[in-house]
Structure formats: C-alpha cells, structure tokens
Structure 1
C-alpha cells in the first residue's frame, strides 16, 4: 500500500513539473515573452529618369536632407532646346487650326471674285472673236488656221473662267470639317510631345522624396548617365520599424496596436516607444540572424513594431530588445 501511494505521489510530481516546464518554455505563463529583433529602416535608391551629363551634386554621404531638396542636376541644355523646338511646332499648328476654323479672309474672297469677273470678260471677248472667225471663214475672209486659233483661245478662256469660279466657291465655302479635325489632331499630338519634353526637362533635377540621410553617393559631376543609373542612396527618417519574431503559442496574446518598449545594447538606458503594426499571417522558420533562446528550427511569425520616437540612436540592422505591454491596447497601425 505504501509503495502504491509513493508511486502515485511521484507521478503527480512529475506531471506537475511537466506542466510547469511546458508553461514556462512554451509561453503560457502570465508574462509576455521578450522579443529580440533588428531595426529596419527603409532605403531609397535615387536616380534620374532621363539620360545626360551629370552637372551638379549638392550633397555628400552623411548629409541630412529634407523632402523636396534638390540633390543633383543634369546638363539640361539639350532638353531646353528640344522643348523650344516642340513649342514652335505647337504655335504653328495652333495658327493653322485657327485659320481652318475662321475661314478665308474677306480680302481673299473679294480678290477671287474680281478674277472671275476678269475672266468672264476675257471669255466673252474670246467667244465673239471665235464667232466672227466662223462667219468670215464662210466668206473666205479668214484662213482656216485663224479660225482654229480663235476657237482655241475661246476654249482656253472658258477653262480659265471655270477654274476661277471653282476657286471662288472653295474660298466662300471655307475649309472642310475633315480638314479642321485633322488640324486639331495634329495640334493635340504636338501638345502631347510638348508635355513630354517639359517633363523630361523637369526630370533633369533630382529631388529628395522624403526626409532622410544620404548613405551613398555613387556618381560625380561630369559622368554620363543612362536613365535610372543610381546616384544617391537615401535612408528615410520615417518610418523606423523593428523586425521581430514570436512563437505560435504566444501569438494569441498579442495584437496590432499593442504597446511595446524598445531598448538597444548601445543605449541601454534609453527606451523607445513603439506599437505592433503588423503580424504576418504566415508562419516561417526562424531566420539565423534572429537572437532567440528557442531552437532556430521553430516556426515563428514575423512582427513589425513601429517606433514612435525614433532618433539617430537607431541604425539599420541594429539588434534591439522588445518588451511588450498588454495593459494598453493602443490604436492599430497599418
């Protein structure tokens, strides 16, 4: 009996120890796990959208820049000349379209009418001479050759009169709707080319997209660059994140918006505030760069903790310790 009782007691002791160890090392105790991660700062590689000769660079590595600051310039003379050439074409096509829409000038129409009257008189006179030659030929008063010449002059006068009348009709009718539509299309096409030329001219100036620090300066003045060639690498001041990982058993105890305290080894006395902004929906194996007491083959979920008060003390890739605080939920950060 005593042996049976002792065996039961030993079993209960082993079971209790097992539960304690499981809760302790699987994160089911009341204390939230301490996370270990690395600072993640976004970087932007900057370059020109157009090719050309690099004329000026205004910043060097380590310089802080503000959003919109001019970082570098290309020699813009080829693009200015191109824009001026296209602008001249636009002006010419606008004038042509206005001519088509307005129609011919009254002076041109009056001149065409005068020409018609002149040729009408010439045609009447040529017809009379031809008729007279016909009558004289019957009486042998003129030769057959003279009569043929008079007929030819008559026919020529009639043709020239018809040409003058047709030209007057065209001037009075104005331009066809198809001509006006074609002129509008030509103008629209050239205006688009002008907009493109203006955009390329603007692209000869490289500006900072956001506040940051110049990490690398890859080119020097005088270099001939192709479009997209990296010139600067900019480290953004915001946002600053911490990339950390948490084990699946602890996943249900955290949520987006939960507050956190962040400490770095280089400034142990300085604490940064943060909030969980993102929890990965997919499990993955622990990266070898993560510092954790668990086995590296354990499945974990990646977290993004947004630092609310970053400064120069946090650098790219710096290892940090994250302490979670479940007492305040906070606002969810995307």
Structure 2
C-alpha cells in the first residue's frame, strides 16, 4: 500500500515538473519574441497667460476639463478699454466729417452769403467815399472854415476801414470758392489715420482681455482665481495636449538594431496588463546618453542608452503624464535581446 502511495506521489511530482517546464519554456519563448522596455508617459504642456496686465474677471474652466481650440477660458476686466474705444470712435467720426466737408467744399448758400457780405462792404465803402468827397469840397470852398480838421480826419479813417472790410470780404469769398488747401486736406487725413490706428490698437487690446485655448487639450492646472491681478509673466492655466502623446523609453546599443522608425509597439499599464495600447516608434535619438535615474532597468546605471519615443493614439485619455508603463516591441524572427 505504501509503495502505491509513493508511486502516486512521484507521478504527480513528475507531471508537475513537466507542466512547470512547459510553462517556463512557453514564457521564455514568448519573451524571446519581444523587446521589453520600461518608461514613462510624456505629454507636451502649454502655459497660458494674458498678453497684458489686468484684473481677472472670469475663469470658465476647471482642472480636468477638456477644451477645444478657440474656446474661451478666462477674461480680464475691460471697462477702461471700452471707454477708450468709444472716445476714439467719436474722434474718428468728427475727423471723417471734416474730411468730407473739405472735399465737398463750401455750400452754394455759403458762397451766396459771402457775396452778399462783400456787396454790403462795398456799399459801405461807396458811402464813406462820397462823405469824404463832400467834406473835401466844403474845405476847399470855405478855406477850411466850414468843418474842422478832426471831422475830415474821421471821414478819411472811415473810408480806410471800409476799404479794408471790402478786401477782407473779397478774400473770404475767394477762399470759399477755391476750397481748402491740399496741404490742409492731407494733414486732416493723416490725423484721421492716426486716430484709426489708435482705435485698432484699443480693439486689439480688447481681444487680448479674452484668454482662449490655442489647441485641443485638457486643463491640468488652474493657477489663479477671479479677482487676482495678473501679468503676461503669470500663467493662468496649464494645458496638457492630448495629441501627440508618447512613451519615453531608453534602449542600449545592443538592442538598437531591433528598433525601427515606424515599427509597432504595445504599451502596457500595470493596472490593466491585458489591455495593451498600440503605438508606433516615432523618434530614435542619434546621440547616446547616460541612463536617467527615473528609468528602472536591470542594467548598470551608467550604461549609455538612446532615447526612443513610442507615439500612441489615446482619445480616451487612458495614459496620464508621468505614468510608468511597460513597452513591448516585437522582434523579427531570429533576433534576440542582448542579454540572451
């Protein structure tokens, strides 16, 4: 009976050894067909800040929110800029009216009025001429006894004033007919352009009070709050780009021949080992470097390695920045890793 028991135990042990050997052989064979590397998820980030200083009025997204290109994320208080814009618009309108007036010239009614004023001045001149002539006749006929010299001088002064008024009215009429000088027109247009440029600058500054997302991304950090005073040097949000996303791994020189640009790879997360994410090798460094301390390998730390990036398509955002992962790269038939 004891012999039968012992024989049974030996048979069971033999079967177990054979199973263990087969499992080990199968795993070894499977391992031989892949180059296994260890690395971390890397994602590009964008630090967003306003172009100008101001007080934050609104913050519209939180950490973890997905944002689209052009989406409004935050705004600054723009009351002062809006007042400046209204002022510039009013100045622009007044200058435009001046330009139109200079181009059109005087209205017919204004010319008619100027001619009437010239005629009135001419009539006044004729009146003073006749009065002076009458006084001069009296002086000649009475040897200066009929009127005083003061009255004669007063009449001459009135005549001269009337002559000056006629010349002034004549010049005004000619100016109305000829219109504004070309130099004055150019100066008015130049001032209009200056005001227009100032309004354009104010409108541009108004657009910069809105902070918009430049890319499709995920909000990684909200660094300021409503009411904070901000500047162009202070980031308001940090965005993590959802595309491209890659795994940074390091390959030693012996295994470098197994890595090809465009080659396929599998990215395996520790929490989901049976749900690999497909990727492609998109970058192989041409310069060797010492193994970074963050990379866990079984080799000596000072081994020279080459950086490799495995790009992945991760629309569901399963991979997080800095997450440690395992990368398996299939080997061609007959190839072996350097430690075999």
* Alignment TM-score, normalising by the size of structure 2: 0.76
Aligned-pair distance for 1:255? Answer: 4.7
* 1:155 alignment partner in structure 2: 160
1:268 maps to 2:251: no
1:134 maps to 2:136: yes
* 1:57 alignment partner in structure 2: 59
> Which segments of structure 1 move beyond 6 Å, counting only runs of 4 or more?
none
Conserved? CA contact 2:121–2:162, under 8 Å: yes
* 1:114 alignment partner in structure 2: 116
* 2:38 alignment partner in structure 1: 36
* 2:263 alignment partner in structure 1: 258
* 2:107 alignment partner in structure 1: 105
Conserved? CA contact 1:240–1:310, under 8 Å: no
1:202 maps to 2:211: no
Conserved? CA contact 2:242–2:314, under 8 Å: no
- The structure 2 residue matched to 1:278, chosen from 278, 283, 286, is 283
- The structure 1 residue matched to 2:249, chosen from 241, 244, 250, is 244
**Bigger mean CA offset, 137-146 vs 289-298:** 289-298
* 1:303 alignment partner in structure 2: 308
**Bigger mean CA offset, 142-151 vs 130-139:** 130-139
**Bigger mean CA offset, 88-97 vs 300-309:** 300-309
For residues 49 and 210 of structure 1, do their structure 2 counterparts lie closer, same or farther at Cα, with a shift above 3 Å needed?
same
CA distance in 2, matches of 1:239, 1:232: 19
Structure 1 stretches of 5 or more lacking a match? 1-29, 328-334
1:192 maps to 2:194: no
Structure 2 stretches of 5 or more lacking a match? 1-31, 333-340
Conserved? CA contact 1:47–1:230, under 8 Å: yes
Aligned-pair distance for 1:235? Answer: 1.6
* 1:165 alignment partner in structure 2: 170
CA distance in 2, matches of 1:246, 1:298: 10
Larger radius of gyration between Structure 1 and Structure 2? 2
For residues 292 and 70 of structure 1, do their structure 2 counterparts lie closer, same or farther at Cα, with a shift above 3 Å needed?
same
* 1:178 alignment partner in structure 2: 183
Aligned-pair distance for 1:315? Answer: 0.9
* 2:295 alignment partner in structure 1: 290
CA distance in 2, matches of 1:250, 1:186: 71
Aligned residues: 298
Partner secondary structure for residue 200 of structure 1: helix
**Per-residue displacement from partner, 1:181-219 (whole Å, max 9, x unpaired)?**
222222222222222222222333333333332222222
Conserved? CA contact 1:273–1:309, under 8 Å: no
Task: Give me the CA root mean square deviation.
Answer: 2.7
Conserved? CA contact 1:259–1:326, under 8 Å: no
**Per-residue displacement from partner, 1:164-184 (whole Å, max 9, x unpaired)?**
111111111111222222222
**Per-residue displacement from partner, 1:11-55 (whole Å, max 9, x unpaired)?**
xxxxxxxxxxxxxxxxxxx97854433211122222322333323
1:85 maps to 2:87: yes
Partner secondary structure for residue 216 of structure 1: strand
CA distance in 1, matches of 2:276, 2:321: 17
Conserved? CA contact 2:243–2:313, under 8 Å: no
